[in-house]
Structures are given as structure tokens and as C-alpha cells.
């Protein structure tokens, strides 16, 4: 697993549940582990063990934690760069949804060795979208649900989202019903990163 994925889990635990809980979980995953390095590669089971220990500690399903992680990735100041990458997908939430097919390629441009599962989007009507998340990172579908829910708030769009399960081939299915594009003002967003320009 790419270190950025593990680092995201680490930051999520630290920021939302505290450094002491992270230290406890890290010690159970691997004695002496203090933090993950973003650009290293780790065995997949280390990520799974982090999530399993966190789920046991919080008495929550791993799937719910993954959705919370997706929400964190959009709203946390720690991961503002990811929010910007996602918002470049479109001016409206519907535009963003239709750009999701390109997300793995956009991520690969930023981090060449971070490979996300293939994403396909089908617009069944003006309001209904169906998303399929390919194999390779089975838990990513639940993270994406959290991301999609948070981005709807970010855009100010009222939606209903549902993870419809994973088929025998390991493909995640997500349904989205867009009720109102301009439900609220959403969060401010500027294509120009003013911090970068001083």
C-alpha cells in the first residue's frame, strides 16, 4: 500500500481521535511504529490492521470508518491539496461527478506510483448517477462515498448517496440522487491558490 494512504489513515486518527489513540493503534500494528512515511510502500495488511484496531477501539464497522475517512480528506486543512484536486473536476457537483472517470489519472499525475481503482460513472437521468469502482483497492468504494458526500456539501448540493455493495468481482457500486444543485452556498473555492502566489 502506498504510504500516502497509510499517512491519511494516521492523520485521520490523530486529528479526529487524538494522538494517544494513534500511538495505541500503531503499537498494535507494529511494535515501534510511530508514523508512516508518505512516499514509502507498505504491506497491504498494515493498512487493514490499522483499520481493524481502530474499528475495535471505536466499536464501529470498518466501512463506517472508511466513509468518515473520506469526509475527513475533503474537510481537513491537512488535506487541502486533495480538495483542490477534486474541485478542479468541475464548476458544479454534477460536472464533478462526470469527471470522476478521470480521477485516477489526475491522481497519477500528482503521485505517479499511487494507483487508484478504475472509476466509471453513468448518468441514468438528470438526477440519478451510478458509479462503479473497480477492483484493486476494495475499501476505496467506501472512502469514495465519504468523499462524495463531503464534496456535495462543499459544492452546496443536496444529494442522497448509497453504497449498494460489492459484487462477486470486487466492484463497488454507488448510487447518487441529486435533489438540488444550489441547495446552499457551499464552501468558498478559488481556482487560484493565493497561498502559493504570496
Cβ neighbours, 10 Å, residue 145? 23
Percent of the chain with pLDDT over 70: 94
DSSP string for residues in 107-141: HHHHSTT--PPPEEEEE-SSSEEEEEE-SS-TTHH
Q: Is 34 exposed, middle or buried (0-12, 13-18, 19+ CB in 10 A)?
A: exposed
Query: 33, 42 in Cβ contact below 8 A?
Result: no
Q: Quote the pTM value.
A: 0.88
Higher-pLDDT residue of 118, 190: 118
Q: What are 171-184's pLDDT values in tens digits?
A: 999 999 999 887 77
Q: Residue 79: phi, psi to the nearest 5?
A: -115, 30
Looking at the predicted structure, is the pLDDT value of residue 93 above 90? yes
Confidence band for 138, pLDDT divided at 50, 70 and 90: low
Amino acid at each position: 500500500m502506498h504510504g500516502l494512504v497509510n499517512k491519511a489513515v494516521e492523520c485521520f486518527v490523530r486529528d479526529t481521535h487524538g494522538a494517544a489513540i494513534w500511538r495505541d493503534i500503531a503499537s498494535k500494528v507494529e511494535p515501534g511504529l510511530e508514523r508512516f512515511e508518505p512516499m514509502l510502500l507498505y504491506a497491504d495488511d498494515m493498512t487493514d490492521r490499522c483499520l481493524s484496531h481502530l474499528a475495535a477501539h471505536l466499536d464501529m464497522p470498518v466501512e463506517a470508518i472508511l466513509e468518515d475517512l473520506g469526509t475527513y480528506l475533503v474537510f481537513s486543512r491537512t488535506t487541502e491539496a486533495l480538495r483542490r484536486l477534486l474541485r478542479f473536476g468541475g464548476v458544479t457537483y454534477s460536472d464533478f461527478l462526470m469527471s470522476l472517470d478521470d480521477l485516477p489519472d489526475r491522481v497519477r499525475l500528482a503521485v505517479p506510483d499511487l494507483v487508484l481503482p478504475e472509476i466509471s460513472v453513468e448518468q441514468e437521468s438528470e438526477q440519478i448517477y451510478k458509479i462503479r469502482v473497480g477492483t484493486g483497492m476494495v475499501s476505496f468504494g467506501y472512502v469514495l462515498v465519504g468523499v462524495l458526500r463531503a464534496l456535495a456539501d462543499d459544492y452546496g448540493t443536496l444529494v442522497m448517496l448509497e453504497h449498494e455493495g460489492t459484487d462477486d468481482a470486487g466492484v463497488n457500486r454507488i448510487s447518487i440522487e441529486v435533489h438540488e444543485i444550489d441547495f446552499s452556498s457551499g464552501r468558498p473555492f478559488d481556482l487560484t491558490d493565493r497561498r502559493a502566489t504570496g
